[in-house]
Amino acid sequence: MSSTSLNTLSLLATTPLSQSKGSSASGSGSFFEAMARAWGQALDSQANLIQQKSDAVAAGGSDNPSALTELTTESLRMSFLSNSSSTSISSVGQALETMARKG
């Protein structure tokens, strides 16, 4: 890849995103920040779902196998999302660092 391509990609990666009307995103930032925000929202949503299922098991006494299996499934999904989030943010961060060094 030529240095011109790397410079263009580096600029694109760090350029603030423009806000469109009706957008629910808080503030503007680079695509890297937007990606991190999206991962955070996905993890928050999954954590809330786990909390709801956990509360239902604890409060309602519904500790039957199906309810516990659903809770376990959602917990494992949280683990998958968390690992994927960490990996993608780390990979993109390293790529941006490499582009900055070569640019």
- The ranges assigned to domains in the chain are 3-14+30-102
| 33's tokens | 């920040």
Mind listing the pLDDT tens digit for each residue in 35-48?
999 999 999 999 99
Mean pLDDT of the chain: 80
* Percent of the chain topping pLDDT 90: 47
Enter the pTM of the model: 0.70
* Percent helix, percent strand, percent coil in the chain, to nearest 5: 80, 0, 20
Band the pLDDT of 2: cuts 50, 70, 90: very low
pLDDT 10s digits, 56-71: 888 877 778 898 999 9
Nearest to 50 by CA among 33, 24, 81, 72: 72
